[in-house]
Amino acid sequence: MAQLPGAQGTQSGPPAQTGQAAQEAAAQAAQATQAAQAAQAAQAAQAAQAAQAAQAAQAAQAAQAAQAAQAAQAAQAAQAAQAAQAAQAAQAAQAAQAAQAAQAAQAAQAAQATQAARAPETHAANAAQCAAQTAPQLANSEVREWPAWLKFGVPCSICGDAGKSEEEPHGVVCGRKRKNAVGGCKKGVCWVCMEKQPRSSFGMAWASTREEFESLEETAWWMHERCMEQSDLCAYFGGEKELAEARAAADAVDVQSSAAEAIDPMAEKERIKKMPVKELKAYLDRHNTSHADLFEKAELLARALEVASQWPAWMNTGDNCRLCGKQQQEKGGVFCRRRRSDGRTAGCNEGVCWRCMKRAPKDSFGKVRCTKEEFADLGEDAWWMHQHCFEDGDWKDYFGESEPEDEKWHRTGEATSF
């Protein structure tokens, strides 16, 4: 069959050309895909690098923090070591001071023992010689104001009070300006103690008042009786006759005071029960009893009644003797304790059994002793103290006679006259 004219003109072109175009398009598509993959790989690499950099920064920060913590711990350890060294040094210093104090105390005790072994006359001669040598030096070097007021800031030798106001003196100092020397022990006594202390604390020159002292103006002076010479006593009271009258009157007061010192235990307890809180605390203070742990009135009252029940000062079952260390039965000994008329408790409060009371050496224990029978016979007024715990007036109250000069010297290291 013959072809129609123009039938071959409908073909677009040769087949070879069409295949090449398809191959080129495929190549371009592959290149685009490779480019996209390369871009993605680059982005992933950048992200990985950024993550590594962040991790490295975090690791660096953690290392710095660890170093800072180690430095802080090292500093704390160093401070702790320094504090420990300082504490050890302080303890060593305290131990050294304690050792020095103990050595000084032993030396002082040895010196006192040596002095006690000497005769009183030898001591008197030495004291007189020493006074003769040092009196001119004291007169030249010591500058004092007269009258000898106890000024603000200077403590009372009895209660330790240093005054309340800088404008007003709160007591007087034991002293008198003589022609070539200054007499007196130079210890101050406040007006409160001057009024409340027993006469035995001061002697004949007892209970001087501020008004009396002020009225004497520039000529005013005051001294303990034990610090006075006979001429001082006569000058203080106005003469021999006036001195004798004053002594007789004082002795009469002593008799009345001794009778009044016998305190009824039941009446004392009733009086304590009526005390307010402030007076209960003052009562415990006078008897050297702590109340820092008490906050209620009932607690204060119970402790005050307990203190009031300590008289007479028998040792009870289970109490230990200070000398032999053995536990005692009921009334197996006595405590060194005395209740004074002003409510104060005197003595060291150490217990001594009757066996040690009898056998203790005189050099260390003293001469003041009693038996169980003697103590029981005195009833509620019974008391006993070591001789070295005695104060002025205790010897007379205990033995009924004035304290001998040699015994006073052994107790205090001084005597009223030589």
Give the pLDDT confidence of 3-17 residue by residue, as tens digits.
Answer: 545 544 445 556 666
Over the chain, what is the mean pLDDT? 77
In this prediction, residues 189-207 reach a mean pLDDT of: 72
Going by pLDDT thresholds of 50, 70 and 90, the confidence category of residue 410 is confident
How much is the pLDDT for 116? Answer: 46
Structure tokens at 162: 């240093």
| pLDDT tens digits for range 234-263 | 888 788 888 888 777 766 655 555 444 445
Q: How far from 396 is each of 180, 372, 391, 400, 415, CA to CA, in Å?
A: 35, 21, 10, 5, 16
The whole-angstrom distance between residue 323's C-alpha and the CA centroid of its chain comes to 27
How much is the pLDDT for 10? Answer: 47
Helix (H) or strand (E) holding 350: none
Going by pLDDT thresholds of 50, 70 and 90, the confidence category of residue 295 is very high
How much is the pLDDT for 246? Answer: 77
More confident residue, 187 or 93: 187
- Which of 105-109, 290-294, 376-380 ranks highest by mean pLDDT? 290-294
| pLDDT tens digits for range 334-353 | 999 988 776 677 889 899 99
More confident residue, 165 or 108: 165
Residue 182 scores a pLDDT above 70? yes
> Beta-strand (E) ranges in 140-247?
149-150, 171-173, 176-177, 182-183, 188-190
Helix (H) or strand (E) holding 352: strand 351-353
Distance CA 176, CA 147 (A): 9
More confident residue, 33 or 202: 33
How much is the pLDDT for 39? Answer: 87
Q: Is the pTM of this model over 0.75?
A: no
More confident residue, 26 or 321: 321
